[in-house]
């Protein structure tokens, strides 16, 4: 009897809505299309290092399409090349040994830039990987959209809409801080969707005087409230990002957060209006995925399963020009996709009078390109 294809599956990095939908898509399609055996590793690379895994049967992944989080668990600290539980030792040889012992044909890794970078490192040691990009931050190089981004934008937009009505009633300046790490995708997309008056993103260091002027002008025009969306990675011109905490064992130890309160403090000194801040935090990462993210997960997951069957390893599934394709893990590893200032969404924000916290003459790059894709 022919040997069954045996594929590992793991979810790494910060969780996001849509991960379970990918687990379902990969597992069901590998079982149905290839009669494969699917081995799920627990808590991302930690399960691969510590030998914690379980077989995923068809029934195990039924009913999880709409569920947030990941049934396999995840970790954003477990790096086999610098393992935090063993004094930062390189334990990659143990991972290679377990992979061989389990006679795996390959692994599908669902994750962000950290997960892809590790997958690339292990590929160089002979393991075979297919990557699936997920993160609310939308900052993975080589793909226009990542799983979880649409849901995070949806959550943030609804929150800003709600702040809008209370801002209007009380004639206040309302600041909403979004996640997104070093990229401003969530703040930009949710800010434009909710009609924010000011959007501050890491890619464009802001001038607090410009932000205060926008608020003052709105006050004097009789529009007695202002909505400001600030990405957690936003920073003032000449200033630094706001680090909330550090996780030393994490591949990227900095956790950003708190810039919203700093903008509030500085605006209080400059305005008569009351100013309030809401930090959305992990709410953006939890709960059920939007239909777009569910469908993207089904397309990404089934495509990853097809790549495995075609032995097309060493690549990450990607969306480019609205089409599904692949990019080499080597090209993704160690890179971040931030918002290009030529993005149509940047142009759209400026065209309707939204301030990006800088004076217009400082923005020579902002003419939108008519042929540029949305993201
Ligand atoms: O990468 C996803 C993300 O939610 C970022 O937007 C945020 O900066 C970070 O993870 C938060 O990490 P943690 O879950 O460790 O607090």
Same domain, residue pair 122 and 142: yes
Same domain, residue pair 164 and 235: yes
User: Burial, 2: exposed, middle or buried (Cβ in 10 Å; 0-12, 13-18, 19+)?
Assistant: exposed
255 CA distance to ligand 1 centroid (A)? Answer: 7
Task: Name every protein residue with a CB atom under 6 angstroms from any ligand 1 atom.
Answer: 14, 76, 112, 135-137, 179-181, 232, 255-256, 285
How confident is the model at residue 297, as a pLDDT? Answer: 98
How confident is the model at residue 360, as a pLDDT? Answer: 73
Closest Cα to atom 16, ligand 1: which residue?
255
283 annotated to a ligand binding site: yes
The residue whose two tokens read 């205060």 is: 212
352 CA distance to ligand 1 centroid (A)? Answer: 31
Task: Give the Cα separation of 366 and 50 in Å (integer).
Answer: 49
CATH of the domain at 23: 3.40.50.450
Is 137 tagged catalytic? yes
Please check whether residue 70 lies inside any domain of the structure.
yes
Same domain, residue pair 165 and 143: no
Strands 53-56 and 37-41: antiparallel
Q: Which of 134, 136, 132, 133 is nearest to 151 (CA)?
A: 136
Cα of 211 vs its chain's centroid, Å: 27
Q: For residue 245, give the ligand 1 atom closest to its CA.
A: 16
Q: H-type helices in the chain, by residue range?
A: 19-34, 45-50, 92-101, 113-123, 149-170, 185-193, 208-221, 259-270, 291-309, 329-332, 344-351
| 40 SS3 class | strand
CATH of the domain at 280: 3.40.50.460
Q: Which of 43, 137, 139, 150 is catalytic?
A: 137
Q: For residue 256, give the ligand 1 atom closest to its CA.
A: 8
Number of domains forming the structure of the chain: 2
Mutate to test the pocket of ligand 1, among 112, 255, 282, 284 (most ligand atoms within 8 A of CB): 255
Could you read off the pLDDT tens digit of each residue along the chain, which spans 375 residues?
688 999 999 999 999 999 999 999 999 999 999 999 999 999 999 999 999 999 999 999 999 999 999 999 999 999 999 999 999 999 999 999 999 999 999 999 999 999 999 999 999 999 999 999 999 999 999 999 999 999 999 999 999 999 999 999 999 999 999 999 999 999 999 999 999 999 999 999 999 999 999 999 999 998 999 999 999 999 999 999 999 999 988 888 999 999 999 999 999 999 999 999 999 999 999 999 999 999 999 999 999 999 999 999 999 999 999 999 999 999 999 999 999 999 999 999 999 999 999 997 556 455 444 454 444
Structural domain of 109: 6-147+289-332
264 annotated to a ligand binding site: no
Same domain, residue pair 19 and 92: yes
Same domain, residue pair 15 and 119: yes
Q: For residue 250, give the ligand 1 atom closest to its CA.
A: 15
323 CA distance to ligand 1 centroid (A)? Answer: 28
Task: Give the Cα separation of 217 and 273 in Å (integer).
Answer: 12
How confident is the model at residue 362, as a pLDDT? Answer: 56
38 CA distance to ligand 1 centroid (A)? Answer: 28
Q: Which residues contact 124 (CB under 8 A, 6 or more apart)?
A: none
Q: Which of 156, 157, 56 is nearest to 110 (CA)?
A: 56
């Amino acid at each position: 009897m022919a040997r069954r294809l045996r594929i590992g599956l793991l979810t790494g990095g910060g969780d996001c809505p849509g991960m379970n939908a990918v687990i379902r898509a990969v597992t069901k399609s590998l079982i149905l299309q290839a009669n494969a055996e699917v081995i799920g590793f627990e808590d991302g690379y930690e399960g691969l290092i510590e030998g914690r895994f379980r077989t995923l049967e068809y029934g195990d992944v039924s009913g999880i399409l709409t569920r947030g989080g990941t049934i396999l668990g995840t970790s954003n600290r477990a790096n086999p090349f610098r393992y935090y539980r063993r004094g930062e030792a390189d334990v990659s040889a143990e991972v290679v040994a377990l992979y061989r012992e389990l006679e795996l044909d390959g692994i599908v890794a669902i994750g962000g830039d950290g997960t892809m970078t590790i997958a690339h490192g292990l590929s160089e040691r002979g393991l075979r990987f297919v990557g699936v990009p997920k993160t609310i931050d939308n900052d993975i190089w080589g793909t226009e959209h990542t799983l979880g981004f649409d849901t995070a934008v949806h959550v943030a937009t609804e929150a800003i809409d709600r702040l809008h009505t209370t801002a209007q009633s009380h004639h206040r300046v309302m600041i909403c801080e979004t996640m997104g790490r070093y990229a401003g995708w969530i703040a930009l997309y949710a800010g434009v969707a909710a009609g924010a008056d000011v959007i501050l993103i890491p890619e464009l260091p802001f001038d607090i005087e410009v932000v205060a002027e926008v608020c003052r002008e709105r006050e004097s025009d009789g529009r007695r409230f202002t909505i400001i969306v600030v990405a957690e990675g936003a920073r003032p011109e000449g200033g630094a990002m706001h680090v909330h905490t550090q996780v030393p064992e994490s591949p990227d130890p900095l956790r950003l957060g708190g810039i919203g309160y700093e903008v509030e403090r500085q605006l209080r000194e400059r305005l008569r209006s009351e100013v309030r801040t809401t930090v959305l935090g992990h709410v953006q990462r939890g709960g059920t995925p939007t239909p777009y993210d569910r469908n993207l997960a089904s397309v990404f997951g089934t495509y990853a399963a097809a790549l495995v069957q075609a032995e097309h390893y060493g690549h990450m599934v990607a969306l480019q020009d609205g089409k599904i394709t692949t990019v080499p893990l080597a090209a993704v590893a160690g890179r971040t996709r931030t918002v290009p200032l030529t993005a149509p969404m940047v142009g759209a924000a400026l065209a309707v009078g939204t301030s990006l916290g800088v004076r217009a003459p400082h923005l020579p790059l902002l003419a939108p390109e008519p042929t540029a894709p949305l993201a």
